[in-house]
Amino acid sequence: MKDNELEIPNSTITRDTREISDPTGNLYESVAVIAKRANQISAAMKEELVAKLDEFASDHDNLEEIFENREQIEISKYYESLPKSTIIAIEEFLHEKVYHRNPAKEESK
């Protein structure tokens, strides 16, 4: 495994809530950070998928061409098989790959 690559499971696994809360000291704050990162990942993946599928778009597709375009089907299947953005975000968070800060905590110091 390279330094910037994580081993990301393809399905949901049970997590220790203490492990999730340790980086911030608060479980709910950790979940909020993970949720924001998951939204970023999801948006980036959607943007990438739309860009790849737009290559196949044309103004004059007939119904048979739409249902028989193998490249589009393969691209869609690939993206469906990727781990969910929340799982990626959790792994990044637990391996300290996500930058986060709480301005309210910084002001009180």
8 lies in a domain? no
The lowest-confidence range among 15-24, 63-72, 75-84, 93-102 is: 63-72
Looking at the structure of the chain, the number of domains it has is: 1
**Is the residue at 61 inside a domain?**
yes
Is 7 among the domain residues? no
Q: Where are the alpha helices (DSSP H) in the chain?
A: 17-21, 27-54, 63-68, 70-81, 85-94, 103-107
For residue 39, being part of any structural domain is answered with yes
- The tally of CA atoms less than 13 A away on the side-chain side of residue 87 is 13
pLDDT tens, residue by residue, 34-43: 999 999 999 9
Q: Which residues span the domain enclosing 69? A: 17-107
- Supply the pTM of this predicted model: 0.78
Domain annotation covers residue 3: no
Give domain status of residue 10, yes or no.
no
Contact 48, 38 (CB under 8 A): no
| Residue 2 domain flag | no
